[in-house]
Amino acid sequence: MERTGCVRNAMINILYELNSEYPQSLNPNKMDYVEFAEKCVVELNVLQAKFKNDFELTWYEDWYYDQATGLLTFSTDDKQLNFKFVSIGSYSEKSHTWKWSWDNTTTLDNVKEPTKLIRDFGQRSDFSKLTEGYFPSEEVEAWEFVAIAAKILNGIGVYRPVNDTGLKIFLVITEFVDNETAQTIKDRYIECQAHEKQRSAFVCNHLIGANKVGFNEAFDTVEDMELGEDDGFQAWCDQCEAKRQKEGEWNDNSQALVEIKLVCEKCYFEMKEINLGHR
Ligand SMILES: [Zn+2]
Ligand SMILES: [Zn+2]
């Protein structure tokens, strides 16, 4: 078993040397955890002061963060400011515990994936607080964790909202997003009554609540697949497919004959399963 561990560590070392995203200034093998954490907290204080000042954050009255879009939005009336964020972990005041996001099944992948870099860094440095998913802690330590995360993930600032279950959520802000881009990202999602916030999908009205009416798609899809900027889930029934084939393609004429409905990604794949699967 020990041999495997050695091989694994060697692999991680090689990975880090190859990974250009990883800050080269960090020499994890030579560091003491307490010293490292303190250094990160000092750096975060400077970073955070600059972040608040650069974006005049105190001017904004409301904030909202959304795991689906990965956007943190500050607003006052109709004026808004958007950022991309990574959800680092959560601190519970009730149980005095810390939970890293990579260990949290309720945190969506798109906002927690980068936290694996912190865990890997912890493995390489032998910093057990970065490699255990969930353990007793204090809030001051949670700030150390987010400071370490900000350094590893090249954050521009941090934010710590409280979620609806009373947990303190620690976010590293990675990037400013202009309002137009933010709106484009937000428009790709829909609030579904059955599935909460999901990516948008488009289907012909015949597919809604129907069984075995066919399921024709713009391109082959699988659930949770990555979509390009201009791609979207689109499906229509056999009856609509016949109309499309009459015109030879989707154009203004054939589209005028079809009633398009907006649904969520989960609903879309339920329809796909019902119409093509074995239900
Ligand atoms: Zn149809
Ligand atoms: Zn749905």
The structural domains of the chain, with segments of one domain joined by +, span 2-182, 190-276
Question: What local confidence, expressed as pLDDT, does residue 106 receive?
Answer: 93
Question: What local confidence, expressed as pLDDT, does residue 215 receive?
Answer: 96
DSSP 147-192: HHHHHHTT-SEEE--B-TTSPEEEEEEEEEE-HHHHHHHHHTEEEE
Q: Is the pLDDT reported for residue 8 higher than 50?
A: no
Q: Which band of pLDDT confidence, cut at 50, 70 and 90, is reported for residue 14?
A: very low
The b-or-e profile of 258-278 (16+ CB within 10 A means b, else e) is beeeebbbbbbbbbbebbeee
Q: How far is the CA of 183 from the centre of ligand 1 (A)?
A: 30
Q: How far is the CA of 270 from the centre of ligand 1 (A)?
A: 16
Q: Is the pLDDT reported for residue 7 higher than 50?
A: no
pLDDT tens, position by position, 109-120? 999 999 999 999
Rg (CA), the chain: 23
Q: Find, among 52, 76, 54, the residue nearest to 64 by Cα.
A: 76
Which bound ligand lies closest to the C-alpha atom of 210? 1
Q: Which range among 106-110, 120-124, 251-255, 269-273 shows the weakest confidence by mean pLDDT?
A: 251-255
Which bound ligand lies closest to the C-alpha atom of 195? 2
Q: How far is the CA of 192 from the centre of ligand 2 (A)?
A: 5
- Token pair for 108: 């969506």
Q: How far is the CA of 243 from the centre of ligand 2 (A)?
A: 27
| Average pLDDT score over residue span 1-30 | 45
Q: Which band of pLDDT confidence, cut at 50, 70 and 90, is reported for residue 23?
A: low
128 φ/ψ angles, rounded to the nearest 5 degrees: -65, -25
pLDDT tens, position by position, 43-88? 999 999 999 999 999 999 999 999 999 999 999 999 999 999 999 9
Residue 171 one-letter amino acid: L
Q: How far is the CA of 147 from the centre of ligand 1 (A)?
A: 53
Question: Rounded mean pLDDT of the chain?
Answer: 88
pLDDT tens, position by position, 167-207? 999 999 999 999 999 999 999 999 999 998 899 999 999 99
Q: How far is the CA of 140 from the centre of ligand 2 (A)?
A: 40
Q: How far is the CA of 265 from the centre of ligand 2 (A)?
A: 6
Q: In whole angstroms, what is the distance from residue 15 CA to residue 78 CA?
A: 45
Q: How far is the CA of 272 from the centre of ligand 1 (A)?
A: 13
3-state secondary structure of 128: helix
